[in-house]
Each structure stands twice: as structure tokens, then as C-alpha cells.
Amino acid sequence: MKKRFYELDAIRGIAIMLVLLSHYTWAFDYHFNTLSEHKFHFFYGDFGVQIFFIISGFVIFMSLQNITQIKQFIIARFSRLYPTYWICMFLTILIIFFFPVPTLGNYTLKEVILNTTMIQGLLKTRHIDQVYWSLGVELIFYFIMGLLFYFKQLKHIIIYCFFWLIICLTVYNFQLPFVKYFKVLLITEHAPLFISGIMFHQIKYGKSNYFTHIIIIMSLMIYLINIKPDAIVPNPFEFKLIPRILVISAYLIFYYISYAKIKILENKILLFIGKISYPLYLLHNVIGYSIIYRAKMIYNNQFFYVMLATLISILLAYFVSSNFEIPISKKVKNKLTILFSYYRTKNKPEKIFVK
């Protein structure tokens, strides 16, 4: 069993704070048409999600190295993601019901039910919270990696990643039949980030060769060429340049921590935020909007309402993490493990002994 890679927790903390800062400054003002030159706006929240995808590639590949059966992977991912997701979704619905915000909420029963699956985006259904879009992407990545594990193909991961990148490049540049299905099933827009995470894992644990570095460079170049930032900003040139600089910086940092430690990442605050990053990601957006919407009525100062929303979101995420995420995930994991074992034993053919 590999030791926990604490640098990833710290980077998770940085990533979620970038996402949160973008939503509470740029995204909130854009959503409610209150943009102003006198306010601070952080436009690059999608950079935080890009970091999450690189981390996911690293962590999921690492997880698959530590199991022997696909059921272990399914149980671990389900118990890690779904119980916390359902709790956070319920809290979001509850809070936005009692503290409504214009244009948000008013969810239908169908939307609520389909949102419990995490694949509501594929089902063309509105997200309870827009940040949920990335969870569907993650699930597809887990499915792809699970298939490779099940068919014992992870030993050829570099070959698969190479052809995956070639498909991404082809999809980006050519209008082929059924291209929209390739984009969804192979998550071509984000695949280079997941692939990079896998390769950084190989470097970290001494399983790399020069092909590993070629794959990383290919991933970076393909992603940089096709990066499509979401926000609309006053300076288009700046917005084309800065996201690329940020992505390159992220790759350099991951390269560095794959070989050595960065002392600054041992910061306790970053590690704490990283630990609660999953519920914080799920809770901060719609609930944060509700807080800011009301806080502005009390004191319309950006620093005040952004800090207030951030503090409340962190406290709420900590409450969910400590009281639900950790204990419930363990219980669900244990129950599912017992259930899978019982089912397998029950359906196992009895041996017939012949004297």
C-alpha cells in the first residue's frame, strides 16, 4: 500500500479555492448582471477543475494498483462519491428553498430524481448545482479505467493513452461521423488532463520511461491548442494567454512534486481545505450565491460578502465532512463489501463430491 501523497491534498485545497473565488466574484456578478470595473473578478475558476482532473488521473490509477478485483474499485468509488453527493444535494435544495435566489431553485421532482444519478448532464437535465457537470466527466473516466483494469490492460496504459490522445486530436480537428459520441464516451475535451495525471503517477512511483514524458508533453500541447475558457472578459488576448500560462504552471508543479516535495504545500490550512474539498466543491456555489445575495443587502462590500460566503461554505463543508462524509462512506463501503461477498457466496456452485 502506497503512503498518502499529501501534496495532492494541498493542491486540492488550492484548486477548490480558485473555483470558489471565481464563482463568488466573476460568476456571481455575471449571473446577476452586476459586473463593474471597480470590483475584483477572478475569471479562471475552470483552472481549478483542470487541476482536479489531473489529480483524478493520478489518484484513480494509483487506486487501481492497490486492488485485485473490480468490485473493490466500484465499492470504493461509490462509497466515496455518492453518499456525500446526495447529502450535499439535499442541503442545497433545502437551503435554496428556504432562502431563494432569483433564477435558482424551483427544481422539479424529475430533476431531483435524475440528479441523484450524477449523469443528469448526459440525460439533458438541469443540474441542481451547475458545478455537478464535472462529476459526470469523472464517472466516465472511472468507467474507462475500470474497463482497462477488468480486461488486465493497465500494464499497457502508455499505449492506450497514446491512442486516446490521437483520438482527441482527430476529434478536435476533423468532422467525422458519430464525432459527438466520441466526445462524450471518451471525454475528449478533458482526457489530456486525466492522462497527464496517470503519467505523473508513473513518474512518482518509478515506473516511467521516456514515453511517459512524451505522453505528458503531447497531453499538454493538445490541451493548450484546444483549450476553450468559459468566461467572457474585457481583454480577449489576456484571456487566451493567462489560462495557458496557468495550465503550463500546473504541469510544472506536478512535474516537481513527482520528483520531490514542495515544503510550502505542507501548510496545515491547505491540507485542511484539501481534506474537505469534495463537500466544499458540492456546496459552495448555489448556497454561496444565496448567502451573497442576502449579505449584499446588509453591506454591499465585495470583500465582506465574499469572505462571509467563503467562511460559511467552509464551515458547512467541514460539518458534512466530519459528520457524514467520513463515517457514512466507511459504513457504506463495509456494507457493500459484505453484500458483494454474500451474493458471490450464495451464487457460487456447490461442489459435488463423488465417493
Tens place of pLDDT for every residue, the chain, 355 residues?
456 778 999 999 999 999 999 999 999 999 998 888 889 999 889 999 999 999 999 999 999 999 999 999 999 999 999 999 999 999 999 999 999 999 899 999 999 999 999 999 999 999 999 999 999 999 999 999 999 999 999 999 999 999 999 999 999 888 878 888 889 999 999 999 999 999 999 999 989 899 999 999 999 999 998 887 665 666 666 667 888 999 999 999 999 999 988 888 889 999 999 999 999 999 999 999 999 999 999 999 999 999 999 999 999 999 999 999 889 998 998 998 888 777 666 665 554 444 4
**Which residue type does 328 have?**
I
Cell of residue 6, nine digits: 499529501
Q: What is d(CA 338, CA 198) in angstroms, rounded to the nearest whole number?
A: 31
Cell of residue 81, nine digits: 462519491
Task: Answer yes or no: are the C-beta atoms of 295 and 253 closer than 8 Å.
Answer: no
User: How far, in Å, are 115, 117, 132, 190, 230 from residue 121 at the CA level?
Assistant: 9, 10, 9, 16, 17
What's the confidence (pLDDT) of residue 354? 44
Cα-atom radius of gyration of the chain, to the nearest Å? 22
Cell of residue 132, nine digits: 455537478
Say what the pTM is.
Answer: 0.93
Per DSSP, helices labelled H in the chain are 6-22, 28-31, 46-65, 70-98, 109-115, 133-150, 157-173, 179-185, 191-204, 210-226, 236-259, 268-275, 277-298, 302-320, 326-346
What's the confidence (pLDDT) of residue 300? 94
What's the confidence (pLDDT) of residue 109? 96
**Which residue type does 204 have?**
K
Cell of residue 134, nine digits: 464535472
Cell of residue 231, nine digits: 468566461
Q: What is d(CA 144, CA 12) in angstroms, rounded to the nearest whole number?
A: 23
What's the confidence (pLDDT) of residue 238? 67
Q: Which of 230, 288, 307 is nearest to 44 (CA)?
A: 230
Q: What is d(CA 123, CA 107) in angstroms, rounded to the nearest whole number?
A: 16
What's the confidence (pLDDT) of residue 346? 65
What's the confidence (pLDDT) of residue 38? 86
